[in-house]
Amino acid sequence: MSLLEVKDLHTSFFTSAGEVKAVNGVSFSLDKGKVLGIVGESGSGKSVTAYSILQILTHPGKIVSGSIRFRDEELVGKSDTEMREIRGNKISIIFQDPMTSLNPTFTIGNQLKEAILLHTDRNKKQAEERAIEMLKLVGISEPEKRIHQYAYELSGGMRQRVMIAMALACEPDILIADEPTTALDVTIQAQILELILDLQKKMGMAVIMITHDMGVIAQICDEVIVMYAGSVCERGTADAIFYHPCHEYTKGLMRSIPDMNDDDKKRLIPITGTPIDLLHMPPGCPFAPRCDRAMKICLQEKAQEYWVGHDQLSACWQNVKDGICSTERPEEEEEEKEEKVKHGKK
């Protein structure tokens, strides 16, 4: 049984201009101790999916339908008081910008203790000890001194470490990381990613990593979900998605990233057109207006998810046309295994 099971989630923002379907039928499951990556461009609904899980959507946003089961317990429909037991305790989140998500008027020790006091039986003194222990764990030097400092006194990388310490203080089952390294430099990004992976292994929690950077996904994720305009294009293991992309959008995305090992500077192949306007969604596949291989059916009807490999699902009519997909999950083939090894060597 999965730790987290999201089924056919629809989240909309009811704005004055009309309903914006930010998340449009997303399903996935997350197992204990796994790192799941959600990748997509801005407006693809990756953050809103995460916010829906924690029900921290801002005003015009609402979960319209679908189910989110955590440890076989339905989260959709829970009251705010009930959700508070889960947020920061069982499921934690770290945000992109550590400066705006820390309160500038409280010391970081104060903010760290808040979650500990709220969710555990520790008293103030024990909470402070725990806060120092957490800061030490995320690699902050002189934690006894740091807990009396304010967010502005710390560098960007340090602030993100504090956010991670805060999120992990109650030993959650799931850590949601919403673009945790986008605002950081590459050398600091490497530090933070290593820290998250290290703590994930130590504490045995599951991680949902939301990012737009395929490089970050390749570095730390076991499984990947590719999203576009609120829908899941493709999901599967990282190897399957990177070496055997089956959705036209994933393929296009891979082609448009410059290759570090390409010395001849081959021309990039961009995805044509502009991102979709979520207020005016086409009836068919959301990617169809930008897709080079769009067929008549793509514009009329959204494809459902079909199995294209032992551990890969893809929602693209092209696979149906080419006859390389099925509604049943195929057995893992020997050839496939060999192929994986081959690709791994490449």
Partner 1 sequence: MERNEKAFTPDPEYLLQVRNLKEYFPITTGFMQTTMLKAVDDVSFDIRRGETLGLVGESGCGKTTVGRTVLQLYKPTAGEIWFNGKKIDNRANLKEFRKKAQMVFQDPYSSLNPRMTVADIVAEPIDVHQLCKTKKEREERIHELMNLVGLNTEHATRYAHEFSGGQRQRIGIARALASRPEFIVCDEPVSALDVSIQAQVINMLEDLQTQFGLTYLFIAHDISVVKHISSRIAVMYLGHMMESASANELTKHPQHPYTISLMSAVPIPDPAVSRKQHRIVLKGDVPSPLKVPEGCPFRPRCERVTAACAKSCPAMREVAPGHFAACHNI
Residues near partner 1 (CB under 8 A): 41-42, 155, 157-158, 185-191, 193-194, 212-219, 238-239, 242, 252-260, 262-263, 265, 267-272, 274-275, 290, 343-346
For the beta carbon of residue 2, count every other beta carbon within 10 angstroms: 16
Question: What is the nearest approach in angstroms of partner 1 to the Cβ of residue 58?
Answer: 21
d(CA 292, CA 86): 44
Contact 209, 223 (CB under 8 A): no
Question: What is the nearest approach in angstroms of partner 1 to the Cβ of residue 239?
Answer: 6
Question: What is the nearest approach in angstroms of partner 1 to the Cβ of residue 117?
Answer: 30
Contacts for 230 with CB less than 8 Å, ≥ 6 apart: 21, 22, 23, 24, 25, 26, 44, 45, 48, 278, 286
Task: Starting at the earlier edge strand, list the strands of the sheet with 174-178.
Answer: 91-94, 174-178, 206-211, 35-39, 223-228, 231-237, 312-314, 306-309
d(CA 150, CA 153): 6
> With respect to partner 1, which residue has the nearer C-beta, 236 or 284?
236
Question: What is the nearest approach in angstroms of partner 1 to the Cβ of residue 56?
Answer: 24
> With respect to partner 1, which residue has the nearer C-beta, 213 or 336?
213
> With respect to partner 1, which residue has the nearer C-beta, 37 or 88?
37
Question: What is the nearest approach in angstroms of partner 1 to the Cβ of residue 189?
Answer: 7
Report strand pairing: 4-15 vs 231-237: unpaired
Question: What is the nearest approach in angstroms of partner 1 to the Cβ of residue 238?
Answer: 5
> With respect to partner 1, which residue has the nearer C-beta, 124 or 145?
145
User: Residue 243: helix, strand or coil by DSSP?
Assistant: helix
**Tokens read off for 51:** 């916010």
User: Residue 184: helix, strand or coil by DSSP?
Assistant: coil
**Chain position carrying tokens 């500990």:** 116
**Chain position carrying tokens 């551990």:** 311
> With respect to partner 1, which residue has the nearer C-beta, 58 or 187?
187
> With respect to partner 1, which residue has the nearer C-beta, 1 or 260?
260
**Tokens read off for 52:** 């829906």
Question: What is the nearest approach in angstroms of partner 1 to the Cβ of residue 251?
Answer: 12
Comparing CA positions, the residue from 253, 273, 249 lying closest to residue 212 is 253
**Tokens read off for 305:** 């998810």
> With respect to partner 1, which residue has the nearer C-beta, 53 or 108?
108
**Tokens read off for 49:** 């999916």
> With respect to partner 1, which residue has the nearer C-beta, 27 or 191?
191
d(CA 163, CA 111): 10
Question: What is the nearest approach in angstroms of partner 1 to the Cβ of residue 141?
Answer: 9
> With respect to partner 1, which residue has the nearer C-beta, 292 or 301?
292
Question: What is the nearest approach in angstroms of partner 1 to the Cβ of residue 187?
Answer: 5
Report strand pairing: 61-70 vs 73-74: antiparallel
